């Protein structure tokens, strides 16, 4: 379920602003039943949510429990070193309700590879081709990425290795959605499964995170 049809704060919005005039038809129970029917018919095995909030996820789970239907298994939300908003409320839901995160934009549109540092605009890179995709390339996000880049040099890693290994380290993450246009990118992304982060390094990551907790929601 790719995104909620109600008013929620996703796609670069941090704070929820309630709209009392919102025309929203609450059919979550019907959606849950429709998904359950598809599972029973053998057309799908499981289903998940995307860009959801703690409230929306719990509503789906509660409706499924009330009806004795299949529960959603995953949430596909943004998660990276530049966007750790999932940890605020959704991580607890993931752990307590066994709904794993499928982390998208793990490299922040490529910002967490370092290829855009010093105002570089690599040919065929996403932000070069689509400059309006600026969610992860604002001043705060670039600043934080640069701090992580200093950190990886200290520990003999690449920025990509640190970024993807950090996500894989989280217990609420089921899988990471990577995107690569070149074979060397794909190989580096896959190889990060073998990167282990020490407690010292994880603590240093958190110290940098505190400098700008929400640079790219």
pLDDT tens sequence across 42-71: 999 999 999 999 999 999 999 999 999 999
Cβ atoms of residues 177 and 108 within 8 Å: no
Q: What is the pLDDT of residue 133?
A: 76
Nearest to 23 by CA among 3, 1, 41, 7: 7
Distance CA 91, CA 206 (A): 16
d(CA 147, CA 64): 44
Distance CA 107, CA 160 (A): 7
The pLDDT, as a whole number, for residue 132 is: 80
The reported pTM is 0.93
- Dist CA 42 CA 68 (whole Å): 17
Q: How many CA atoms lie within 13 A of 214 on its CB side?
A: 9
Mean pLDDT across the stretch 67-85? Answer: 97
Domains of the chain in start order, with CATH, are 73-209 (3.20.20.100)
* Closest among 111, 81, 101, 91 to 210, alpha carbons compared: 81
Burial classification of residue 65, based on how many CB atoms lie within 10 Å of its CB (0-12 exposed, 13-18 middle, 19 or more buried): exposed
Q: Please write the tens of the pLDDT for every residue from 94-147.
A: 999 999 999 999 999 999 999 989 888 878 777 777 778 788 889 999 999 999
pLDDT tens digits along 156-196: 999 999 999 999 999 999 999 998 888 999 999 999 999 99
Mean pLDDT of the region 193-217: 95
User: By C-alpha distance, which of 39, 41, 37, 52 is closest to 3?
Assistant: 52
Q: What per-residue confidence (pLDDT) applies to 8?
A: 87
Q: Are 202 and 135 in contact (CB under 8 A)?
A: no
pLDDT band at 204 (very low <50, low <70, confident <90, very high): very high
Location of structure tokens 């609450």 = 26
């Amino acid at each position: 379920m790719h995104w909620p049809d109600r008013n929620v704060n996703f796609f670069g919005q941090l704070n929820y602003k309630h709209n009392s005039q919102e025309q929203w038809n609450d059919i979550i129970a019907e959606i849950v039943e429709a998904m359950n029917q598809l599972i029973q018919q053998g057309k799908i095995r499981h289903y998940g949510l995307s860009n959801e909030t703690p409230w929306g996820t719990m509503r789906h789970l509660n409706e499924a429990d009330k009806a004795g239907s299949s529960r959603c298994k995953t949430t596909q939300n943004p998660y990276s070193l530049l966007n750790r908003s999932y940890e605020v409320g959704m991580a607890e839901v993931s752990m307590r309700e066994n709904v794993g995160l499928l982390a998208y934009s793990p490299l922040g549109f490529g910002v967490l590879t370092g290829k855009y540092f010093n105002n570089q605009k690599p040919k065929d890179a996403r932000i070069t081709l689509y400059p309006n995709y600026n969610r992860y390339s604002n001043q705060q996000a670039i600043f934080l990425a640069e701090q992580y880049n200093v950190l990886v040099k200290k520990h003999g890693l690449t920025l990509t290795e640190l970024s993807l290994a950090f996500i894989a380290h989280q217990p609420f993450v089921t899988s990471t959605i990577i995107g690569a246009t070149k074979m060397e990118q794909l190989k580096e992304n896959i190889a990060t499964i073998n990167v282990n982060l020490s407690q010292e390094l994880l603590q240093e990551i958190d110290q940098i995170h505190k400098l700008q907790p929400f640079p790219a929601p």
